[in-house]
Amino acid sequence: MSPELADSAGTAQPKPVRVNPMKGRVASHGDTPASSGNIANIITVVRILLAPVFIWLLLSDAGALGALRYLAAALFILAIVTDSVDGLLARRQNLVTNLGIILDPIADKVLIGGALIALSILGELWWWVTIVILVREFGITIFRFIALRDRVIPASTGGKFKTVMQSVAVSLLLVPTWLLLGGWVHVVNWSVMGIAVALTVYTGIEYLVNAWRLGRKLA
Q: How many CB atoms lie within 10 A of CB 163?
A: 21
Domain membership of residue 165 (yes or no) is: yes
Domain membership of residue 24 (yes or no) is: no
We report the CATH number of the domain holding residue 131 as 1.20.120
For the chain, which ranges sit under pLDDT 50? Answer: 1-2
pLDDT for the residue numbered 125: 96
Q: How many CB atoms lie within 10 A of CB 193?
A: 22
Domain membership of residue 15 (yes or no) is: no
This prediction has a pTM of 0.83
Domain membership of residue 77 (yes or no) is: yes
The Cα 64–Cα 122 span in angstroms is 10
Alpha carbon of residue 176 to chain centroid: 25
Domain membership of residue 4 (yes or no) is: no
- The answer to whether the CB of 151 falls within 8 A of the CB of 92 is no
Structural domain boundaries, residue 172: 33-218
pLDDT for the residue numbered 1: 47
DSSP state of 100: H
Domain count, the chain: 1
- Dihedral angle, C-alpha 161, 188, 110, 86, nearest 10 °: 50
Q: How many CB atoms lie within 10 A of CB 39?
A: 19
Domain membership of residue 198 (yes or no) is: yes
- The answer to whether the CB of 123 falls within 8 A of the CB of 173 is no
Strands (E), 29-180: none
pLDDT for the residue numbered 154: 57
Domain membership of residue 7 (yes or no) is: no
Domain membership of residue 18 (yes or no) is: no
pLDDT for the residue numbered 7: 54
152: left (phi over 0), alpha (psi -120 to 50) or beta: beta
Please tell me whether residue 211 adopts helix, strand or coil conformation: helix
Which residue type, as a one-letter code, is found at position 196? Answer: A
65: left (phi over 0), alpha (psi -120 to 50) or beta: left
pLDDT for the residue numbered 166: 95
